[in-house]
Chain A
């Protein structure tokens, strides 16, 4: 299935959880936050959140700024 990740299209296995996607991306989950279809996904729910076709994900972190 296809999802939108940070504005880019990406293919993932059907039924992939958010926790698995972050692991595949090599991201440390305590340093990121995820918005799925404009709603925040709490960190505690990553493992129970199964992604669906067409999901729009934003995965962000802190960078230098003023």
Chain B
């Protein structure tokens, strides 16, 4: 039986969740989504463009039979606005899934923990399956789990920064402390960052800019797919402990050479 990622009542064989933002064209995005092997894709909720109706819709390029849509509340700075965005998203997408993101600051795009917790509590009460974006603070992560978040999603590094997993220790503590799936969300720059997150034992990785901003997004999407799989396999396999000194791989007995100094 294949190993799966369970998020509430939803179940996926891919552990990579990808965003749909920042692509030059929708066809390029569609190709990258396919190459990533992702089964869940994030979208944002925005006012419809009333002046230019000629623009194509993102939804024309996302096969709903193939991809589960995970709307976000990106751009919201208060619990109230995030809850409004989530309710609207549920109405557009007819799904209970929401990626909750309540930001505290425009420059760093770091989450506002107080508003994030408030919004999580409200949305859980309203029956949403809440995947909450948070910093890598283990205490906050636990509070979000206690508030009923279905998944907690610590940032590896600030959104779009491509800095990778900045604090592995915190991610490890979060993994040790939480029972719900932990998905690293944001800050991932390249395949090795994804692999590190998965090797630590994360249940999945969510990323957007790392693929959309690459010179060749389709190639990078393929790399990210493999990176998630490689990291997960390595985690399941169980790595060797790190040691200060060398330990020979070949037998030390029966060597033909004369032992130096002996």
Complex Cα distance, B50 from A38, in Å, reads 20
Q: Is B248 an interface residue (CB 8 A)?
A: no
**Known A-B contacts A25-B50, A35-B84; A64 and B92 likewise in contact (beta carbons under 8 Å):** no
Q: Which residues of B contact A7 (CB under 8 A)?
A: 47
Chain A's closest residue to B54 (CB) is: A26
Q: Which residues of A contact B47 (CB under 8 A)?
A: 6-7, 58-60
Chain A's closest residue to B43 (CB) is: A62
Contact of A62 with B92 in the complex, beta carbons under 8 Å: yes
Q: Which residues of A contact B69 (CB under 8 A)?
A: 62
Q: Which residues of A contact B29 (CB under 8 A)?
A: 64
Contact of B19 with A65 in the complex, beta carbons under 8 Å: yes
Contact of B44 with A62 in the complex, beta carbons under 8 Å: yes
Within 8 Å by CB of A65, from B74, B93, B186, lies B74
Chain A's closest residue to B18 (CB) is: A66
Complex Cα distance, B29 from A8, in Å, reads 31
Contact of A62 with B91 in the complex, beta carbons under 8 Å: no
In the complex, per-residue mask of B58-99: 1 if CB is within 8 Å of any chain A CB, else 0: 110000000001011010000000001001111111000000
Most buried by B among A5, A8, A58, A62: A62
Contact of B72 with A66 in the complex, beta carbons under 8 Å: yes
Contacts between chains A and B (CB distance < 8 A), count: 100
Contact of A62 with B159 in the complex, beta carbons under 8 Å: no
Q: Which residues of B contact A25 (CB under 8 A)?
A: 48, 50, 53
Q: Is A1 an interface residue (CB 8 A)?
A: no
Complex Cα distance, B207 from A39, in Å, reads 32
**Known A-B contacts A32-B92, A58-B88; A65 and B48 likewise in contact (beta carbons under 8 Å):** no
A selection of 23 A-B contacts at a CB cut-off of 8 Å is: A25-B53, A27-B48, A31-B57, A33-B91, A35-B84, A40-B91, A58-B88, A59-B50, A61-B45, A61-B48, A61-B59, A62-B46, A62-B92, A63-B44, A63-B58, A64-B22, A64-B23, A64-B43, A65-B19, A65-B20, A65-B208, A66-B42, A66-B72
Binding site for A on B (CB under 8 A): 19-23, 29, 42-48, 50, 53, 57-59, 69, 71-72, 74, 84, 87-93, 159-160, 186, 206-209
Assuming A26-B53, A59-B47, A66-B22, what are 15 further A-B pairs, CB within 8 angstroms? A6-B50, A7-B47, A32-B92, A33-B88, A35-B87, A42-B91, A60-B46, A60-B88, A62-B58, A62-B69, A62-B89, A63-B43, A63-B44, A64-B21, A65-B21
